[in-house]
Structure 1
Amino acid sequence: MAADPASLTDRRLLSDDLLATVRGRAAIHDRENSFFADDLADLAGSGYLGAMVPSPLGGAGLTLREAVHEQSRLAGAAPATALAVNMHHVWVGAARYLHERGDDTLDWLLTEAAAGEVFGFGYSEAGNDLVLLGSRTEARPDGAGGFTFHGRKIFTSNSPGWTRLGVMGLDSTTDPDDPRIVHAFITRDAGGFEILDDWDTLGMRASQSCTTVLDGAHAPAERVMRRIAPGPSLDPYVLGIFTSFEVLLASVYTGIADRALALAVETVGRRTSMKSGTTYSQDPDIRRRIASAALAMDGVWLQIDQVAGEIDSEPDGRADRGAGWFRATAGLKVRATETARYVVDEAIRCSGGSTYFNRSELGRLYRDVLAGIFHPSDDESAHALVAQSLLGPVEA
């Protein structure tokens, strides 16, 4: 299981009582396919939305390494809540990444997050395996430095709750010979979008990651953050988004796996075999499965702590990987989500047929953990990235 976060930091924002309350609601939200509005209100009230905002800007000042442990604890209580809140933390993490490197582009975001604004992540598009490097959405200049956005975004977690939405689209109008990906933010009260009621999924149901149709959503000039050429980029804005997304996502699915392993240990300790008359915790096959899952978890936590710690220390020059951050964090995400699937599967195998019922927490974790394979970077793109880093691009 994970190392106790208290051994790494005394700065916990999520109390055990709050986590117990959130855990008590998770099955209800899953069954009803309802949004975690009550959880979000409690998390905001605890200051959790400003967890990584530097203290001088009004937040708790947690490092990325500290924040991933808090996110894993939240995921163990309510995976869908943690996943949706994760998208807010991705933006705060990206803003902090820039801030610590002397770039104040997103300092306004840090201030607003500390004040209670909720940020959503509107980047994913059906069939867009370029992710940050290209877009099917149109970004049309408004003539005053701003843009309107026209396109369809999928998996927009926290759809009912965000007040600010980060979006990107391709501007091929300003200079057709030099198209640019525009990164900007829209506000909920400005309109220009429709959120579809289409989130009826196998798992992660409370996240309400609905499709968002952008039809003239406007970002004024002061909320246009970057105009970057399509394709690979080492712009700190892109690096901040990518690294924050991958590391925080890894922590959510690792938190799910931690919880599944804990439940399996509890279950095999109380189930008794009619054949042997002893608890299943004495069965050598069960013991090997539990041990194998625990060993896998130990390896993932070592990687998460190492990568997150290096990102935290990079501003002083001790851990500047440059383009290597893409490989390091994409690989971490894939290993963490694949390991989480393995651990939950082993927990299910150890715990018996009752986990096949929807009322089972382990059964719900089994459904939730599957979502990890769909988030960027997926297995295929991560392998392609690593192959290119080692072998160069595929020859035309």
Structure 2
Amino acid sequence: MTTRPHASADLSSVLTPALLESLRDRAATLDQSNSFPHQDLQDLARAGYLGALAPRELGGLGWDLSDVVGGQRLVAQHAPATALAVNMHHVWNGVASILAAHGDDSLEFIHRESAAGEIFAFGISEAGNDAVLFDSGTVAEPLQTGGYRFTGTKIFTTLSPVWTRLGVFGKTPDGAQLVFGFLDRASAGWSADDSSWDMLGMRATHSHTTRLEGAVVPADRIVRRIPAGPNADPLTFGIFASFLTLIAAVYTGVGERAAQLGAEALARRTSRVTGQPLSHDPVLRYKAGEATLRGITQDTLLRSVVADIVAGADWGPEWFPRLVATKTQAVRTAKAQVDYALEASGGAGFHRAAEITRLYRDVMAGVFHPSDDESAHNTFANLALGPLTS
């Protein structure tokens, strides 16, 4: 069973069956050749999907976050790596939407430029930075012009071959402020390193290492200066909310496809002992029922959290744990679904060319997206028991 992602937008008029099938048709080859999905991005852009969150008056589709979450589930069911790549573009657009809903139009340019064909990428992650958005090893040096010069290394920069705008952040030399801005691809002072890009799964994302070597972001593209350390700035909330829910959407979609493959395999395979399809076997029916239970539960959780974001619900200090729980549960569910589907597929599923083996590898990437399991459980424990005192 595949849960049908519902949204207020007419997803099928943009993500048409023909478009989605073409993504699936290319996915295996892209994975095998370790190639970037250039054609996928072009087709999605032509359909208007990269401007989905931009208001209609800015040239976009006028979707809200729940619509895009539904869309990302569909794309992930057909081409997980393409979905994860597009996700990072949608993350910045989601941040712009969340801020705009609260009266802050400072990121309107993201919507406007996305609708015009620009591609936004996420240059935030740094090796060993478990503080994530609350600290940075990248230096943001202030310039007399009001711009900043960024020097540091960003890892897993998804969309590396094609981004035109890179959202980056760094810390001022005095350690007092975190500075967020958007780097134009045409700017000097940066380079991408693809020399080690040969990953277990989600290979087509081409999330290369990006080295900022004095890259200058002009004053008009500096969007925030925030005191270093934990903070409740709306931009910080917007990034966490958009990133975690859209990551959850991708892995929810992967899990949905895996469950579908499992069900199809049980219906197709026949027991030599009974002569009946394995879908009649009581033990395997129980496992299929468990997979369905997991899928419905994840669907309900994701819909609820995204609806609260769109509605502007006030969960106060519970917001971050709820967002982390949604991402954590999505990855756990997807991993369980691919386990079920691989078992249901029998020995044929263990073949390297089988779709389920690719999903089995792809889903492992979810372990590494923030928040990881250790960080997530620390968040949950702090909510339940309070933070540790020194």
Per the normalisation by structure 1, the TM-score is 0.95
CA drift of 1:196 comes to 0.7
Contact 1:11 1:62 in 2 (8 A): no
In the alignment, what sits opposite 1:28?
29
Quick one: which of 354, 373, 376 aligns to 2:370? Answer: 376
Provide the C-alpha distance between the structure 1 equivalents of 2:188 and 2:350, rounded to a whole number of angstroms.
Answer: 43
Distance in 2, matches of 1:22 and 1:239, equals 32
**CA distance in 1: counterparts of 2:315 and 2:222, whole angstroms:** 28
For the pair 1:272 / 2:276, whether they are aligned, the reply is no
Aligned to 1:179: 176
What's the CA shift for 1:67? 1.1
From 308, 315, 324, give the equivalent of 1:321: 315
Query: After superposition, what is the alpha-carbon deviation per residue over 1:277-308, rounded to whole angstroms, capped at 9, x for unaligned?
Result: 22111111211111101100100110111110
In structure 2, C-alpha distance between the alignment counterparts of 1:357 and 1:210, rounded to whole Å: 29
The answer to whether the 8 A contact 2:91-2:246 is kept is yes
C-alpha distance in 2 between matches for 1:116 and 1:325: 32
Aligned mates of 1:2, 1:218 — CA distance in 2: 46
Give, in angstroms, the shift of residue 88 of structure 1.
Answer: 0.3
Alpha-carbon shift at residue 56 of structure 1 (Å): 2.1
Q: Per-residue CA shift, 1:86-144, capped at 9, x if unaligned?
A: 00000000001111111011011110011110000011111111111111111111221
Q: Is this contact kept in 1: 2:2–2:257, CA < 8 A?
A: no
Question: For 1:289-368, what aligned pairs fall within 5 Å after superposition?
Answer: 289-314=287-312, 319-368=313-362
Q: For residues 265 and 38 of structure 1, what CA distance do their matches in structure 2 show? A: 30
Name the structure 1 match of 2:103.
102
Pairwise CA distance, 1:7:
7.1
Provide the rounded CA distance (Å) in 2 between the counterparts of 1:57 and 1:76. Answer: 29
Contact 2:3 2:256 in 1 (8 A): no
Give me the whole-angstrom Cα distance separating, in 1, the residues matched to 2:4 and 2:60. 23
Q: Is the 8 A contact 1:54 1:96 kept in 2?
A: no
Match of 1:70 in 2: 71
Cα distance, 1:194–1:42 mapped onto 2, change above 3 Å: same
Q: Does the 8 Å CA contact 1:290/1:347 hold for their aligned counterparts?
A: no
CA contact (8 A) 2:139 2:171 kept: yes
State the match for 2:234 in structure 1.
236
Gaps of 5+ in 1: none
Counterpart Cα distance in 1 of 2:22 and 2:202: 18
**Correspondence 1:61-140 to 2 at 5 A:** 61-140=62-141
Equivalent position of 2:10 in the other structure: 10
Q: 1:227 to 1:326 in 2, by over 3 A?
A: same
Q: CA deviation at 1:11?
A: 4.2
**Root mean square deviation, CA, Å:** 1.3
Cα 1:3/1:274, change in 2 over 3 Å: closer
CA distance in 1, matches of 2:8, 2:223: 34
Worse-superposed segment, 137-146 or 295-304: 137-146
Deviation, structure 1 residue 354 = 1.7
Q: Which amino acid aligns with 1:335?
A: Q
> For the Cα contact (< 8 Å) 1:94–1:237, is it kept in 2?
yes
Q: Deviations over 1:294-344 (max 9, x none)?
A: 100100110111110111111xxxx11233221110111001111110111
Q: What corresponds to 2:385 in structure 1?
A: 391
- What are the superposed Cα offsets for residues 196-216 of structure 1, whole Å, 9 maximum, x if unpaired? 112100000000011111111
Structure 1 SS opposite 2:122: strand
Whether the 8 Å contact between 2:181 and 2:223 is mirrored in structure 1 is yes
> Quick one: structure 1 residues 348 and 25, their matched pair in 2 at CA, closer, same or farther if it must change by over 3 Å?
same
- SS in structure 2 at match of 1:394: coil
TM-score by structure 2 length? 0.97
SS of the residue corresponding to residue 302 of structure 1 reads helix
> In structure 2, what is the Cα distance between the partners aligned to 1:360 and 1:104?
46
Contact 1:289/1:350 (<8 A) preserved: no
Supply the AA of the counterpart residue of 2:382: Q
3-state DSSP class of the match of 2:186? helix
CA displacement, residues 222-272 of structure 1 (integer Å, 9 cap, x when unaligned): 111111112221111111111000001101001001011111111111111
Residue in structure 1 matched with residue 224 of structure 2 by the alignment: 226
Partner AA of 1:124 in structure 2: S
Q: How much does 1:386 deviate?
A: 2.1
| Partner secondary structure for residue 213 of structure 2 | strand
Q: Determine the structure 1 residue equivalent to 2:157.
A: 156
Task: Please point out which of 190, 194, 201 is paired with 2:187.
Answer: 190
Counterparts in 2 of 1:2 and 1:267: CA distance versus 1, 3 Å: closer
CA contact (8 A) 1:234 1:322 kept: no
What is the CA deviation profile of residues 41-79 of structure 1, one whole-angstrom value per residue up to 9, with x for unaligned ones? 000000000111122222111111111111000001100
- Whether the aligned pair in 1 keeps the contact of 2:331 and 2:366 (CA below 8 Å) is yes
Give, as a single letter, the amino acid of the residue that structure 2 aligns with 1:332. T
Instruction: Find the residue that maps to 2:316 and give its secondary structure.
Output: coil
Give the aligned residue type for 2:372.
D
- The whole-number CA distance in structure 1 between the counterparts of 2:364 and 2:8 is 29
Matched, 1:257 2:255: yes
Q: How many residues align?
A: 388
